[in-house]
Structure 1
C-alpha cells in the first residue's frame, strides 16, 4: 500500500495548481483504500508479483475518488470522513472538473499497462458505475422502490469497482477463466455488503463517529435498504410518515423516522442482507489457493459486518 500511495502522489502531478490542491484534499482525507487493497490481496492470494499491480491499484482509487467528488456535488453533501467535502471548500465547479481530471488520469495509467483486457474491464466498470449513478438519481424520492431495484443500483454504483479490482488481479495473475470469475464474484459480493453496511450506519451510527450527517439519505430522498425493510415491517401510519418524507425530502420529523427505523426490525433485516452478501464473498474466496492472503480475504468479508464507520 505504501508503493500504491507513492504511485498516487506521482500521478497527481499537474501544471494546474488547483488540480493538485483538490485531488490532494480528498485523497488525503484518510479513506480506507479498500479497493486498491483488495486488488493487492487477490494478487497475493494468486501468487502474482506483476509490477503493474501497484499502478492499477492506484487507478481504481482514482476512479473511486472521482466518483466521490461528483457524488458530493450531486448530493449537495457537506461532510465526508469527518470534514468538509471538496465542493464545500473549493466549489462545485472545481470538484466536478478535478473529478474529470482523475478519470482521465486513470485512463492514461491503464493505457500504460499495455493490455487490452485490462482497459476493457476498467472501461466497462467506469461505464456501469456512471449508469448506476444515473439510476440512483432517477430513483430519488421514489417511496415505492423495492429491494431488487436497490440491489441493482448498488451492484452498479458500488460493487462494480470492487468486482473490477478483484478481476484485474486475476488477469494480472493469468488465472484461468473459472478462477477469474470466482475472484470477480468475491469482489462484487464484498462491494454489495460494504454498501449495505454503509447504508445501515446512516441510521444506526453516531454522527460524529461516522463523519457524516445522520439521515442524509432520507433528506436527499435516497431510498436505501434500511428504509425499504422498515416499510415492510412498520404500521401503515408509520409507513405514511416515511413515504411522505421520502417524496418531499422534508426532515421535520426525521428524529421520529429514525426511531421507527431503529425499532421496527428493518435494520436487522438489512444487516441480514449484508450477511448474505458477505457469505457469498466467503464462498467465492474459498475457490482461491489457501494461503495467508486468501485467509485475509475471508477475514475481510467477516470483519466488514463489524464496521462502525
Structure 2
C-alpha cells in the first residue's frame, strides 16, 4: 500500500463526498435515464418505483460504475445507461427482498409492500429488471450483457440460498460468506467490471475492478450484519433486530453460537427457530453477541475484505479517482462506528 492510500481505521472520518463529487456530472445523466426509464402508462409503476428510487439511497453501485470509468479515463457516455441498469437491478432486488422479508421500513420510510401490497411490489420489481435488460441490449455489448445478466442470476441464487438457510442455526461461516458473496457482492463486482469493458481495457483490468467491487460488497454486507445488532432504527433505516426476528443466521449469530455455552446454544436454537423472538429475547441475543466479541470480530472481517478491495486498486495510478474509490471502502466500514 502506497503512502497515498490511508488505511482503514484512520482517525479522519471517512465520507462518500469524494466519490459523489467525482461523478456528480455523470450521475446527473444517470438520474435522467432512471427517471425516463421508470415511466409507464400504468400509473402505479412510476409511483411505486419512484417511492423507493427517491427514498434516500446513496446510488452506491452506479457511482462505482462511474468512478471506475473515471479511474480508467473513459471519455464516452455508454456508462450512463449501464449505471442506470445497475441501479434498476439493485432496486428490483430491494422490492423483492422486502416482500420476502415482510419488511416494514427501508431507509427510514415505509416499504413499498406495506403501502401498495406484495403483488404490486413484486411486479414492479419485475418491470425494473426488464428495464435494466433493455438498457443492456441498447448498449450492444454481449460482454456487458453477460456480466450483468450473470450477476442478476447469481443474486437470485444467493437470495434463495439465504432463504433455505433461514432458521438453520447450523449454517457455518463459510456458507454464509458464500451467500453474501452472491446476494450482495456480485452486483458490486459487476458494477465495477463493466467500466473496464466500456473502456476497452484488458482482462487483467476487468479482474482487478471485479476484485475491488467483490471485496467491497462483502465488507459492506458484513457491516450491515453488525449494525443490525449494534444500532437503532434511526441509524439503520429499518427495524431494530429485523434479522433476529426473521431467523436470519448472519455472522454475529454464527460466531456467538460457535463460542457459546450449551445453555447459550439452546437459546440460539430456540430463537432462530422463531420460538424466542420478543424484545427481551433480542436484548438477550445482543448481550450474548457482545459477550463473545461477535460484533468486533464481524467488523474485523469486514476490515479484512476492505483491505483486499483497496489492494485490488494497487495497479492503478494514484489520483482523484483512486482516492475516491479507497474512501468509498473506508466509508462502508465506518458506517458501523
Give me the TM-score of the superposition, normalised by structure 2: 0.90
Does structure 2 conserve the Cα–Cα contact (< 8 Å) formed by 1:233 and 1:266?
no
Matched, 1:132 2:161: no
Higher relative contact order (CA 8 A, sep 6+): 2
Please list, as runs of the form range in 1=range in 2, the aligned pairs for 1:90-105 lying within 5 A after superposition.
90-105=116-131
Gaps of 5+ in 2: 1-26
Does structure 1 conserve the Cα–Cα contact (< 8 Å) formed by 2:91 and 2:128?
yes
Deviation at 1:67, TM superposition (A): 0.2
Q: Which moved more, 1:73-82 or 1:299-308?
A: 299-308
Does structure 1 conserve the Cα–Cα contact (< 8 Å) formed by 2:48 and 2:121?
yes
Deviation at 1:290, TM superposition (A): 2.1
Deviation at 1:231, TM superposition (A): 1.5
Deviation at 1:50, TM superposition (A): 2.0
* Structure 2 counterpart of 1:50: 76
Matched, 1:12 2:41: no
Show CA shifts across 1:52-109 (max 9, x none): 1111111000000000000000111111100110000000000000000000011011
* Structure 2 counterpart of 1:112: 138
Aligned residues: 309
- From 103, 108, 118, give the equivalent of 1:77: 103
* Structure 2 counterpart of 1:228: 254
Does structure 2 conserve the Cα–Cα contact (< 8 Å) formed by 1:187 and 1:281?
yes
- From 274, 281, 286, give the equivalent of 1:258: 286
- From 17, 34, 56, give the equivalent of 1:30: 56
Does structure 1 conserve the Cα–Cα contact (< 8 Å) formed by 2:222 and 2:298?
yes
Deviation at 1:117, TM superposition (A): 0.6
Matched position secondary structure for 1:204: coil
* Structure 1 counterpart of 2:263: 237
Matched position secondary structure for 1:15: coil
Deviation at 1:179, TM superposition (A): 1.4
* Structure 1 counterpart of 2:239: 213
Deviation at 1:208, TM superposition (A): 2.0
| Structural RMSD (CA) | 1.2
* Structure 2 counterpart of 1:303: 331
List, as ranges, runs of 4+ consecutive aligned residues in structure 1 with deviation greater than 4 Å: none
Does structure 1 conserve the Cα–Cα contact (< 8 Å) formed by 2:99 and 2:113?
yes
- From 172, 177, 180, give the equivalent of 1:154: 180
Distance 1:213 1:6, change over 3 A: same
Does structure 2 conserve the Cα–Cα contact (< 8 Å) formed by 1:192 and 1:274?
yes
Give me the TM-score of the superposition, normalised by structure 1: 0.97
* Structure 2 counterpart of 1:271: 299
